[in-house]
Chain A
Amino acid sequence: QSALTQPPSASGSPGQSVTISCTGTSSDVADSDYVSWYQQHPGKAPKLMIYEVSKRPSGVPDRFSGSKSGNTASLTVSGLQAEDEADYYCCSCAGSNTLKVFGTGTKVTV
């Protein structure tokens, strides 16, 4: 199971929007309703931001949204704030939902 493909970096000015793509295959992203996104600040554990493609956990700002089309999932951060600067990872279930595969990660700079 190969890692999902994300752009290495993305950037935007405060208040702008940034969208991160997460490209998989017919065996993972395209075949699963279970895509999640994680934010990781340096030296910290990852934090769940989006689950099951587009659902937001309690406490996550509605500036964060997720979607999926075919074998590509996307995370959009609207109204960028300085604290959004972090690494972001997608994750998809695969293998009939018995496996999980992470994306390569995207560093977002604000």
Chain B
Amino acid sequence: QVQLQQWGAGLLKPSETLSLTCAVYRGPFSGYYWSWIRQPPGEGLEWIGEINHSRSTNYNPSLKSRVIISVDTSKNQFSLKLTSVTAADTAVYYCARVSGSTGQPNYMDVWGKGTTVTVSS
């Protein structure tokens, strides 16, 4: 059973850079996209972006200027960096595997447990 384990700093000051990593265990890394999603306290889900093993990326246009998603295929890991954070970036951040039965990756079928990130001065 594929598992995603994520980690990263949980408390940041405004203007700092958020950095999270997600490791993929017990499953293939290539052939999928790997995504980051966040959820502010008491709010809904927001898609941040995704990457595949070939480093092809797609980003949410509203966050694109501040987001970098990267991959380390030697470790089966992918990472999220979000620059210049503010209180509005306070959220639970999830990593997820993106699959597709028709060859187009389109649904998130395996999720990490989430990492709470708080931005406060």
Contact = CB atoms under 8 A, between A and B. Distances in A.
Contacts of B62: 1
Interface string B85-121: 0000000001000011110101111011110000000
Interface residues on A, range: 20 to 34
B113 A102 contact: no
B45 A46 contact: yes
B101 A89 contact: no
Interface in A35-52: 36, 38, 45-48, 51-52
A7 B5 CA distance: 33
A101 to B, nearest CB: 7
A5 B13 CA distance: 33
B94 A102 contact: no
B16 to A, nearest CB: 25
Given A1-B60, A45-B94, A52-B101, A102 B106 contact: no
Nearest to A2: B62
Contacts, number: 69
A105 interface: yes
Contacts of A69: none
B46 A36 contact: no
B47 A91 contact: yes
B84 interface: no
Contact of B108 (A48, A52, A101, A104): A48
Nearest to A40: B45
23 contacts: A1-B60, A1-B62, A34-B100, A34-B106, A34-B107, A36-B106, A36-B108, A45-B111, A45-B112, A45-B113, A46-B37, A46-B108, A52-B101, A55-B101, A93-B106, A97-B104, A99-B61, A100-B35, A100-B47, A100-B50, A100-B106, A102-B45, A102-B46
Given A33-B102, A52-B106, 11 more contacts: A36-B107, A45-B112, A45-B114, A46-B111, A47-B111, A52-B102, A91-B47, A91-B107, A91-B108, A93-B106, A100-B106
